[in-house]
Amino acid sequence: MSNKAQFNYILDVVIALAFIISTLSGLVFMFAGSGGYQGGSNPNFQVEMLGINRSTWSDLHALTSLVMIAGVFAHLVFHWSWIVCMTKRLLKPGRRQAQEVCPVE
């Protein structure tokens, strides 16, 4: 496996894991009710889900979301030449015989 392919694979795995964790932590917030102290009147303030408190879920959600955003940005930069090539091909459908071959990444 080439270095480029290995980097792409690792980047995709990082994005996928960040997506899964961000999604799961988002579901925790959806089912755990509203957060915040709210003057002591919020019964969900100290709720733990899967043995993890709300503050830790919030930090995990924010961190994995940032990792996912950075990963997607890096993915777009890594594949930029392919994106540009494919966009050009799609915008000029009449020139099928003389189309350049887009790099496989």
Q: What is the mean pLDDT of residues 37-45?
A: 64
Helices (H) and strands (E) in the chain, counts: 3, 2
CA 26 to chain CA mean position, Å: 13
Q: Where are the domains of the chain?
A: 3-91
| Range in 13-17, 19-23, 91-95 with the lowest mean pLDDT | 91-95
- How far, in Å, CA of 11 to CA of 54, rounded? 29
Q: Is pLDDT at 89 greater than 80 in this prediction?
A: yes
pTM of the predicted structure, to 2 decimals: 0.76
Token pair of 54 as six digits = 């709300």
Supply the pLDDT for residue 55.
82
- How far, in Å, CA of 80 to CA of 98, rounded? 22
Phi, psi of 53 (to 5 degrees): -75, 165
Using one digit for the tens of pLDDT, what is the confidence trace for 42-84? 666 667 778 888 888 889 999 999 999 999 999 999 999 999 9
Q: What is the mean pLDDT of residues 11-36?
A: 88
